[in-house]
Amino acid sequence: MILNPLSNQVGGHDGVLSMGDDNEIIVKPALPQELKFYEESVLHAELAAWMPTYYGTLTLTRNQPGQAGGDQTSTSAGPTIKALNGYALSDMMAASTLDQQDGANAAAAAIAETDVVAAEAEDNGAIDDECICLENVSLGFKKPCVLDLKMGTQLFDDDASEEKKARLGAVAANTTSLPLGFRMTGFEVYDSEKDSFTKYSKHYGKGLTEDTVLDGFRAYFAAKLGPERMRLIIERFINDLTDFLATIETQELRMRSSSLLMIYEGDAEAFDAGVAIEQEKIAAVVARAQAHMEKSAREDQEGDDEDEENDEDDEDDEDYDEDDEEDGEVGQKVTDMRLIDFAHSTWTPGQGPDEGVVKGVKSALALFEKLLQEDYPID
Query: At 176, phi and psi to the nearest 5?
Result: -80, -5
Name which of 356, 354, 360 is nearest 251 in CA terms.
354
Give the one entry of ligand ADP, Mn ion, none that residue 147 binds, where binding means its C-beta sits below a cut-off of 5 to 8 angstroms depending on kind.
none
**5 part of the interface to Mn ion, by CB under 5 A:** no
Question: C-beta of 243: minimal distance to Mn ion in Å?
Answer: 22
Residues 333-362 that bind Mn ion (CB under 5 A): 341
Give the one entry of Mn ion, ligand ADP, none that residue 353 binds, where binding means its C-beta sits below a cut-off of 5 to 8 angstroms depending on kind.
none
Question: C-beta of 26: minimal distance to ligand ADP in Å?
Answer: 4
Residue 333 backbone zone (phi > 0: left; psi -120 to 50: alpha; other: beta): beta
Give the one entry of Mn ion, ligand ADP, none that residue 205 binds, where binding means its C-beta sits below a cut-off of 5 to 8 angstroms depending on kind.
none
Residue placing its CB nearer to ligand ADP in the complex, 48 or 126? 48
Question: C-beta of 238: minimal distance to ligand ADP in Å?
Answer: 22
CA 331 to centroid of chain Cα atoms: 16
Number of residues that bind Mn ion (CB under 5 A): 2
Give the one entry of Mn ion, ligand ADP, none that residue 10 binds, where binding means its C-beta sits below a cut-off of 5 to 8 angstroms depending on kind.
ligand ADP
Residue placing its CB nearer to ligand ADP in the complex, 33 or 64? 33
Question: C-beta of 247: minimal distance to Mn ion in Å?
Answer: 20
CA distance linking residue 304 with residue 348, whole number of Å: 55
Give the one entry of ligand ADP, Mn ion, none that residue 41 binds, where binding means its C-beta sits below a cut-off of 5 to 8 angstroms depending on kind.
none
Q: Which residues bind ligand ADP (CB under 6 A)?
A: 6, 9-13, 16, 26, 28, 52, 134-138, 146, 148, 259, 261, 340-341, 343
Question: C-beta of 270: minimal distance to ligand ADP in Å?
Answer: 17
Span interacting with Mn ion, options 6-14, 68-76, 219-227, 237-245, rule CB under 5 A: 6-14
Footprint on this chain of Mn ion (rule: CB under 5 A) = 12, 341
